[in-house]
Homo-oligomer: A and B are copies of this chain.
Amino acid sequence: MSSCYKSWILLTGFILFYVAYLLFGAFVFSIIERPVEDKLKRDIQVLKEEFLNQSCVNATSLENFLERVLQANKYGISILPNSSASSNWDLASSLFFANTLVTTVGYGHTTPLSDTGKAFSIFYALLGVPFTMLVLTACVQRLMHLVTYGPISMCRQKIGLDPLAATAVHFAILLLLVVLGFFVVPAVVFSYIEDTWSFLDAIYFCFITLCTIGLGDYVPGEKPGQNFRSLYKISVMVYLFVGLMMMYLVLRAFHRMADLHGLTSFFQLPHCDEDIEEDKEPIIEAGHEDQHEHEAEASAKPLDPASQTYNTIKR
């Protein structure tokens, strides 16, 4: 119980440190990018006034004007008057950007404008991506008891199902709940909040996001005059993090079921014998930490491609 207590304290510490890391990133991005954005916004407004003041509009002047408008738009700066009020680099938006960076979703609806911002993005993601995975994995490890082992064990004891049937039934229910709770219900909410999104658009957004593809054609909270924009952005961040955790949980449950049903070997390519020999050799000979020996031996086997796949897909 003491180790369990320590484990939860550590996990809470991890999550708090993760939130601090995101806030730090948001703060730095905001400081670096805000002035560049403001300058570009002013430039584009001057450009618009100049364009409106000229006596005759010909194709060439229009094209030159549009080229600069589209260039600014690429960096998330719109020339339209109703979208100029909100910044892409206020604290909430920067936090959202930092979050999409470390989760590898990367919508790209706003991108760093300055060289400093680009360089900082590289270093921030270099630490942030592994850190996110570490926090996600630690959370999933704790949730597995509550969501997988507990219910399966209950199925077997209460209903008297055999282990194979219990894991299959459990997986089907888990999948259904995740699809409902993290795709269908959020899609209904998004299509309600975002006027221009159909239900299909919202489902497409949820799917593209939770697979970490992040095309960025639909990004919540980007319409002009969005109510409670900061709160909404932070809610989407929480959805993203918990959603990724659930995707990972489903994959681990699937992997577990596949192992139990012997499906893993079905997906597995036959090994080269020489690979296995080579692979086992160095770690077994090393044996410098007895308590890790079993673990090392297990990891010394060429990892099962299917199992890795289920662990790794969509992160």
B-binding residues in A (CB < 8 A)? 1, 3-4, 6-8, 10-11, 14, 48, 51-52, 57-59, 62-63, 66-67, 69-70, 73-75, 78-81, 100-101, 104-108, 111, 115, 118-119, 121-122, 125-126, 129-130, 133-134, 137-138, 141-142, 144-145, 149-150, 152-153, 156, 163-164, 166-167, 198, 200-201, 203-204, 207-208, 211-217, 252, 255-256, 259-260, 262, 264-265, 267, 269-275, 278-279, 281-283, 285-286, 288-289, 292, 295-296, 298-299, 301-315
Q: Are B141 and A302 within 8 A (Cβ)?
A: yes
Q: If A153-B282, A278-B145 touch, does A79 touch B52 (CB 8 Å cutoff)?
A: no
Assembly CA distance A275 to B149 (angstroms):
8
Contact of A133 among B152, B214, B309 (CB under 8 A): B309
Assembly CA distance A219 to B281 (angstroms):
44
Q: If A211-B129, A286-B163 touch, does A153 touch B278 (CB 8 Å cutoff)?
A: yes
Assembly CA distance A14 to B305 (angstroms):
13
* Copies of chain A in the complex: 2
Q: Are B314 and A129 within 8 A (Cβ)?
A: yes
Assembly CA distance A81 to B62 (angstroms):
11
Q: Are A214 and B312 within 8 A (Cβ)?
A: no
Question: Using Cβ atoms and an 8 Å threshold, which residues of chain B touch A272?
Answer: 3-4, 7-8, 142, 145
Q: Are B213 and A101 within 8 A (Cβ)?
A: yes
Question: Using Cβ atoms and an 8 Å threshold, which residues of chain B touch A100?
Answer: 213
The distance from the CB of A3 to the nearest CB of chain B, in whole angstroms, is 5
Q: If A272-B3, A312-B137 touch, does A118 touch B213 (CB 8 Å cutoff)?
A: no
Question: Using Cβ atoms and an 8 Å threshold, which residues of chain B touch A52?
Answer: 57-59, 62
Q: Is the interface of A mostly helix, strand, loop or mixed?
A: helix
Q: Are B282 and A265 within 8 A (Cβ)?
A: no
Contact of A51 among B62, B73, B101 (CB under 8 A): B62
Look across to chain B and name the residue whose beta carbon is closest to the beta carbon of A268. B138
Question: Using Cβ atoms and an 8 Å threshold, which residues of chain B touch A312?
Answer: 133, 137, 311-312, 315
Question: Using Cβ atoms and an 8 Å threshold, which residues of chain B touch A213?
Answer: 100-101, 104-106, 125, 129, 214
Question: Using Cβ atoms and an 8 Å threshold, which residues of chain B touch A118?
Answer: 200-201, 204
Name 20 A/B residue pairs within 8 A (Cβ), A-sorted. A1-B273, A3-B272, A4-B274, A4-B275, A51-B62, A52-B62, A122-B203, A122-B208, A129-B213, A130-B310, A130-B313, A137-B303, A144-B302, A164-B286, A255-B299, A256-B299, A262-B292, A264-B292, A264-B295, A298-B298
Question: Using Cβ atoms and an 8 Å threshold, which residues of chain B touch A271?
Answer: 3, 7, 141
Question: Using Cβ atoms and an 8 Å threshold, which residues of chain B touch A302?
Answer: 141, 144
Q: Are A270 and B7 within 8 A (Cβ)?
A: yes
Q: If A106-B208, A272-B145, A315-B315 touch, does A259 touch B133 (CB 8 Å cutoff)?
A: no
